[in-house]
Amino acid sequence: MDREIIEKTAVNILETEILSIQDCLSPYVSTNDKTPFWDGSIYIYNSSVHSKENYEGKIEVQVKGRQVKKLKCSGNSKFTMDVDDLVAYKKNINGTLLIVVEFIDIKNYQLYYANLLPVDLHELFKNISDGQKTKTIDVKPIVSKSASSLKFVCLNFLKNSNKQANRRIIELNEMDNLEEINFEIISTKSGFEDYIKSNAIYSYGITKDTKEIVSLPLLRDIRVFQTIKQTVMLDNEKISFDFTMSSGEKDEKIIIGKSLVLNRNECRLEINLSGNLYSRINDLKLLNHILVNKNIITSSGILELPLANEDEIKNIKEKFSKCYDYYIEVKEMFDYFKIEFLTDFDMLTDKDINNINLMINLIKGKCLEKIKELKTYTVSIDKYTIFIMPKVEKNTVVGVYNLFDDLSNAIKFFMINEKGSESETSIYYTLTSDNIKKASNFDCSIILNDIKRVGLVKDTVIACNQFILNLLNAYDETRRKDLLDLANEVQKELLKFDSSDLYLLNEFQIKYRLCGLEIDDKIKIKEIYDRGNSFVKAGAAILLSNLSDYEIAYNELGQEERDVLQRSPIFNILNNITNK
């Protein structure tokens, strides 16, 4: 069959295919078209009524025919094009739809297509050298009654043609400057996954600096993910994990948890530990189960997981059992300090890892040369700060305590007054507002129980009051409700011992933060104002939002008292009032 007849046959097959759809496409393609690069257009309407009112646009097409003895059963085909043609298509800002018709005869054929949109041509010309005459490209099958039908191929081509016309195409190294990325697909709901796997996906972004809408490079290896939550019992322990089926054009993978990937095509298990401490431990438990049983239980039953030979399984077990033992040690260390450590291990610095190992060793009674004095120490790991106390036996440091643990039977703390007399007190009175904000092992119940246990005497009241003020300052910066509740409980203990006006004002400033002041509260505060000294008057005036009375009282204070007032949390209330 000569070339002219082949091209005529291809055009006739395409027209027949379009007309058989009886939908939104209308062919205007001719075998006698005089243009050197295009054979005509396909007009697109928004309904099966092809009127001017329903017209959406047109796409330029190039139709190529190829007579074959046997049609391919599935998959892509190849087509070789003249580079001169591609150069011409590149000058057309709306792109060109290439349709290749492979046929045995007029009734036995297969249609293929290739989008030659600006983004496609941008990618193609990266791999065309100077002087190159031809370029072989992939053409994808057009499949009737699917997401890859001619209708959806044309509809998606028109949508992306309109988006890419006169639009800049960025490179991968420019994607950090994007504040938004999106893509659109025209498909049936049931055909969405098929379209993603089988067709080109075009995406667009908005730049952060200029808000320019740009075209992105073609997305490669688009994958469809289906994730379900699974719970299994392993050694009488419930393990919850994500079970994800990932399918792409070339392979199918099962992702178990965060770290385990089974390539079903190659029966290969890939292990890349990731996530935080707890997800890694869970993944390693799942790994051990998979290696032993060669299956995993899902909601739909037992999924057999064929793996490599026994020697490889043994090597994997030996390698990752050491990882598991280490993560368990790390978990036990954080459990000792009652911390849920949620940082992704991949985000930890060398210093963080060294400090984790240090804490493990200190608990075991090792590396104790780091402790020189009997005092509170802090160790930082990422955003977590741990407060510890040396554990001493017979004047020798033998380990460390969690500062926020019940130490009543291990350590006693005393305050010595000017006369040399001792009073037992709580070590937590020494915590500054900065300590309170930072301490990741901070435990309100331990602190309150300790304060109730030691009680209050005249020499420890001021320290207790300062601790309450430190709690309030920390609350004002963090808005942690547990700190405000603790301040309220400690304040109740203080007022049992001393209900002087200064401490009563603290009760009211706590209530101000908790739920606001009522009329009866303000009456009592006014009474305190009337009988108080200048310092008390200044605090009372702030709670009453009486700025003029505050100014009078403040002006009567000395510089030292002014400094104390400005460091007090009641001054934060003043700042809130004046900033409204």
The string of pLDDT tens digits covering residues 168-192 is 999 888 888 898 888 888 888 777 7
Which long-range contacts does 222-226 make (Cβ < 8 Å, 24+ apart)?
A: 222/196, 222/197, 222/248, 222/249, 223/247, 223/248, 224/193, 224/196, 224/197, 224/248, 225/255
Q: Rounded to whole angstroms, how far apart are CA atoms 492 and 486?
A: 10
pLDDT at 509: 97
pLDDT at 397: 85
Q: What is the DSSP string of 506-537?
A: HHHHHHHHHT---HHHHHHHHHHHHHS-HHHH
**Segments in the chain below pLDDT 50:** none
Q: How far, in Å, are 258, 284, 285, 316, 418 from residue 322 at the CA level?
A: 19, 10, 12, 10, 57
User: Whole-angstrom Cα distance, residue 519 to residue 530?
Assistant: 17
Pull the structure tokens for residue 498.
Answer: 């001393």
- The reported pLDDT for the residue numbered 224 is 56
List, for residues 492-516, the tens digit of each pLDDT value: 999 999 999 999 999 999 999 999 9
Distances 486 to 166, 369, 433, 490 between C-alpha atoms, Å: 63, 36, 13, 6
Confidence (pLDDT) at 236: 75
Residue 202 to residue 184: CA distance in whole angstroms: 8
Residue 270: what pLDDT? Answer: 81
What integer pLDDT is reported at residue 36 of this predicted model? Answer: 73
Residue 489: closest CA among 452, 462, 457:
452
pLDDT on residue 31: 65
Secondary structure element (H or E) that encloses residue 97, with its range: strand 96-105
Taking a C-beta distance cutoff of 8 angstroms, is the pair 31, 8 a contact? yes
Q: What is the pLDDT of residue 251?
A: 66
- Contact (CB, 8 A) for 242 and 257: yes
Residue 220's pLDDT is what?
Answer: 64
